[in-house]
Amino acid sequence: MTTAHGPVLRTSRERVADVPGPALATLTKERFSRDGWIFERKLDGMRIIASRCGAAVQLHSRSGANAGVSFPEIVEALEAIDVPDFVVDGELVAFDGAQTSFARLQQRMHVSNPAKARRTGVAVFYYVFDMLHLDGHSTRGLPLRERKSLLRELFDWDDPLRFTTHRNADGEECFADACAKGWEGLIAKRADAPYQSGRTRDWLKFKCEQGQEFVIGGWTDPQGSRAAFGALLLGYYDRSGSLVYAGKVGAGFGQAMLASMHAQLAEHATADPAYEVATLPTAPV
């Protein structure tokens, strides 16, 4: 095979089976823009190392478990690529609207029959961000920019395969934008670094601290020596405007606060539950 990336073919030969496990990003509170770093979207999905050796495509999770039967459309898409044997790294996701949804992906993750996996109706996409091996040679010693360029050049990027794009600068601005969009965060990667398996500081995780606003929709009766109320029943409004029960909280209240809050809550008591009944637990709360 001839490419513009001659160094790929000058490395020592290796088997697809000998390619080591995935690189793991290090969580950091630091946010920065630095020369020589790129910034990728952090996706809420399942880390997948995909390989093809001859006609056989395999998908392996971060722990090494075989995931191919759960995602047959990804296997088929990788089988169809006109590229020699390869190993790539990426994130497999499902969407709920514009956001990646691990909850939806879970509907596919533990399905052990390809036909049943398709019948779930949950569409999945494989966002590929790195190339670890190509045509019997390691690409892991190449700088990240070269690996990504090689990956973009060689693969056909049609759904369900997607190339993971990146920003070359403005890390803080990119992070703020990611959080405003409700993303998980960013992965900052050193652009000239080789691929290193295991935990590395060449990949840094900028994680958005997502919060959730809850409303008080009820309370439970006190038990034992406790006065006023037992726990507050919390919920949130869904897209249809219904109040959905989320859980309860009862710790951290002093006696004075219990009495004060109960007096305020009692003024708004109603005979009917505030929550959408179908969302309430069937066991006592």
Its domain, for residue 120, covers 24-207
Residue 147: what pLDDT?
97
Residue of 42, 148, 189, 207 marked active site: 42
How confident is the model over 78-110, as pLDDT tens digits?
999 999 899 999 999 999 998 999 999 999 998
Q: Are residues 235 and 195 in the same domain?
A: no
Q: How far is CA 20 from CA 17, 63, 102, in A?
A: 8, 12, 26
Residue 17 forms part of a structural domain: no
Residue 284 forms part of a structural domain: no
Q: Are residues 68 and 199 in the same domain?
A: yes
**Residues in the chain with pLDDT < 50?**
1-2, 4-5, 283-285
Contact 50, 117 (CB under 8 A): no
Q: Are residues 85 and 224 in the same domain?
A: no
Residue 2: what pLDDT?
45
Q: Are residues 221 and 105 in the same domain?
A: no
- Tell me the C-alpha distance between 187 and 25, whole Å: 7
Which of 172, 207, 242 finishes a domain?
A: 207
Residue 253 forms part of a structural domain: yes
Residue 162 forms part of a structural domain: yes
- Tell me the C-alpha distance between 76 and 184, whole Å: 29
Q: Are residues 160 and 83 in the same domain?
A: yes
Residue 12 forms part of a structural domain: no
Q: Are residues 82 and 124 in the same domain?
A: yes
Residue 5: what pLDDT?
46
Residue 7 forms part of a structural domain: no
- Tell me the C-alpha distance between 219 and 250, whole Å: 9
Residue 162: what pLDDT?
98
Q: Are residues 183 and 269 in the same domain?
A: no
Q: Are residues 168 and 76 in the same domain?
A: yes
Residue 258: what pLDDT?
85
- Residue 135 belongs to a domain with what CATH number? 3.30.470.30
Residue 285 forms part of a structural domain: no
Q: Are residues 243 and 142 in the same domain?
A: no
Q: Are residues 224 and 241 in the same domain?
A: yes
Residue 16 forms part of a structural domain: no
Which of 181, 207, 233 finishes a domain?
A: 207
Overall domain count for the chain: 2
Active site annotation includes 42 = yes
The full 3-state SS of the chain, as one line of letters, equals CCCCCHHHHHCCECCHHHCCCCEEEEECCCCCCCCCEEEEEECCCEEEEEEEECCEEEEEECCCCECHHHCHHHHHHHHCCCCCCEEEEEEEEEEECCEECHHHHHHHHCCCCHHHHHHCCCCEEEEEEEEEEECCEECCCCCHHHHHHHHHHHCCCCCCEEECCEECCCHHHHHHHHHHCCCCEEEEEECCCCCCCEEEEEEEEEECCCCCCCEEEEECCCCCCCCCCCCEEEEEECCCCCEEEEEEECCCCCHHHHHHHHHHHHCCCCCCCCCCHHHCCCCCC
Threshold 0.75, pTM exceeds? no
Q: Are residues 37 and 145 in the same domain?
A: yes
Q: Are residues 251 and 221 in the same domain?
A: yes
Residue 1: what pLDDT?
41
Which of 207, 224, 241 finishes a domain?
A: 207
